[in-house]
Structure 1
Amino acid sequence: MTPIVPPQRGKPLAPRLSLRDNGPMSDVLRRILFILASVLCATACLPAAAGQITVFAAASLKEAIDEISADFTRATGVEVAASYAGSSALARQIEFGAPADVFLSASTEWMDHLEHNNRIEPTTRFDLVGNRLVLIGPAAQTAAFEISANTNLLHMLAGGRLAMALTDAVPAGIYGKTALQRLGLWEGVAPMVAQTDNVRAALSLVSLGAAPLGIVYATDAQADQNVSLRATFPPHTHPPIIYPVALVKGAKSPQAQAFLDYLTGDAADKVFADLGFLVGAE
């Protein structure tokens, strides 16, 4: 598959809200997040059944990987067990020895981290798809606008919270903070940010009416009829959003490479494209 250069979508996951300032993360919060990440991946950390592929994938890939996995199973008879969470939580679980076969990250940095620590097979790594970063609101608010340095997000929030994934750990949160910083909007809205474990939890806050605005991926917005796309962040405000994939070092399933190959086929490309991901050289 030709590497992509994006132009800079399931029930929503239940949100776990964490409001905090922008100073260093407290030891208590670090312990809480570590426990949450461990619990989130507990099921996936059980030994895989014979003939089963264990996939760790970024939460924003849920619909796509669920559909592609079902197609793969129908074609091969091999079951795929997928665990979804923030890329940071999944990467740490793999680093601590969780028996995953395939890792799909929402950022190159967490894949780089695992490669640096010899936890993936680098020769199997490639960039799979891309995405866009968007601002969302309730479905009733259908009017889109062009976000810029002149956008008054505080006025739009009207005392409510801006839902985002963890801004110092989860890719969607990192991209979102970077975009707001480059637009000169971060300092003004930072005290109003509601941080969540992953991007789907941020989506859920807006979907359930707990937050008036949120920053998620375009595919997340497309996946939930209870939200509307208010604005797309310009490509120059954040690094390209790329999803790398690779086999985990010591993968137990002999069919893992076949699944990796299936992800590059036309059938998988169509699923990704239909769900709003950027495929190929798009």
Structure 2
Amino acid sequence: MKNLFDIMSQIRRIAWVGGACVVLFGAGLCAAQPIDIFAAASMKPALDAIALKYARETGQALRLSYAASSVLARQIDQGAPADVFVSASSDWMRYVHDAGVLSQPACMIASNRLVLASGTPAAVTLDLDDIMTRLQGGRLAVPLISSVPLGIYAAQALTTLGLLQGLRPHLAQQDNARASLISVLRQESPLGLLYASDVRSVPGVFVVADIVAETHDPVRYLAASVTARGEAVVAYLAGPKGREVFVAYGFLAP
């Protein structure tokens, strides 16, 4: 007998996709539906590449939706039709696990590190005066420090370095890691606290200071299947083929 979590998950999922599924059944296309992956925004370059590779090898299309892990976790809990969840935070993966909507436990697929980045390559000392001089009245790009994984990691690092109090009024807090990267790329923000993988994937953004890993919690990416359809995809992400792509795009091995 299915437990209460399974039943509630199915009810939420049916409520979310009911209207669309009628159209798909009417057209006889439900069986060919792409597998839906809800993924942390910082995974976009690597997962876009993996989706192309996976489709070539298996004939199965992947449909990717990117946002902050916090946003995606809440959507999945509310019944959004995800088959796979990829999170940049173990806390938000735990949130989905505790909601009882996963078909299998999560596994770690990659890790990352933090850097201070800029649209100009001149190095910056992790000192309040030097950072303020570089900002020149502008703001430091960082995702929301209360909920977005990169923002949380960044706040931990700034606190450890004794910089958060002085920099808090000068933070430009944004919806996700990708938004902060674009802000630095466009030089709307003179500096940003970003993932090293994001900087590597975008020409025109430079690492100007490395953030010591011990200043914040480990940056770990986890993947889990929400439905049985997603289980093979999670195995692919966690396997050697997925790992090869993640490393090529600047992520660290699990």
Q: For 2:130 and 2:157, how far apart are their aligned partners in 1?
A: 15
Deviating more after overlay: 224-233 vs 78-87: 224-233
* Distance of 2:238 and 2:87 partners within structure 1: 16
* Residues 182-261 of structure 1: pairs in structure 2 closer than 5 A: 182-248=160-226, 251=227, 254-261=228-235
Q: Which moved more, 1:128-137 or 1:153-162?
A: 153-162
What is the one-letter code of the residue matched to 1:56?
Answer: F
Which residue does the alignment assign to 1:65?
47
8 Å Cα contact 2:108-2:238 kept in structure 1: no
Displacement after TM superposition at 1:188 (Å):
0.7
CA contact (8 A) 2:128 2:166 kept: no
The superposition leaves residues 122-177 of structure 1 with CA deviations (integer Å, 9 ceiling, x where unpaired) of x4311110000111011xx3233553x56632122110010110110100011101
Asked if 1:277 corresponds to 2:248, the answer is: no
Counterpart-to-counterpart distance in 2, 1:124 and 1:77: 26
Q: Report which stretch shifted further, 98-107 or 109-118.
A: 109-118
Partners of 1:169 and 1:183 in 2: how far apart?
20
For normalisation by structure 1, the TM-score amounts to: 0.77
Larger radius of gyration: 2
1:231: how far off?
A: 1.1
Question: Is contact 1:146–1:232 with CA below 8 Å preserved after alignment?
Answer: no
Q: Give the CA deviation at 1:204.
A: 0.7
For 2:189 and 2:124, the matched residues in 1 are separated by 19
1:105-254 matched pairs, under 5 angstroms: 105-121=87-103, 123-138=104-119, 141-145=120-124, 147=126, 152-248=130-226, 251=227, 254=228
Letter in 2 for 1:135: L
Which structure shows the higher helix fraction? 2
Q: Secondary structure at the match of 2:238?
A: coil
CA shift for structure 1 position 275: 0.6
Q: Counterpart of 1:219 in structure 2: which amino acid? A: S
Describe the shift of the 1:247–1:46 C-alpha distance in structure 2 as closer, same or farther (beyond 3 A). farther
CA shift for structure 1 position 46? 5.9
**Partner Cα separation in structure 2 for residue 60 and residue 235 of structure 1:** 18
Question: Which amino acid is 1:237 matched to?
Answer: T
Whole-Å separation in 2 of the counterparts to 1:151 and 1:116: 44
Unpaired segments ≥5 residues, structure 1: 1-41
| Other structure's SS at 1:180 match | helix
Q: Measure how far apart 1:94 and its partner are.
A: 0.4
For normalisation by structure 2, the TM-score amounts to 0.85
Q: Gapped runs of 5+ residues in structure 2?
A: 1-15, 25-29
The alignment covers a number of residue pairs equal to 230
The alignment yields a C-alpha RMSD, in angstroms, of 2.0
User: Partner amino acid for 1:156?
Assistant: R
Identity %: 40
Contact 1:135 1:213 in 2 (8 A): yes
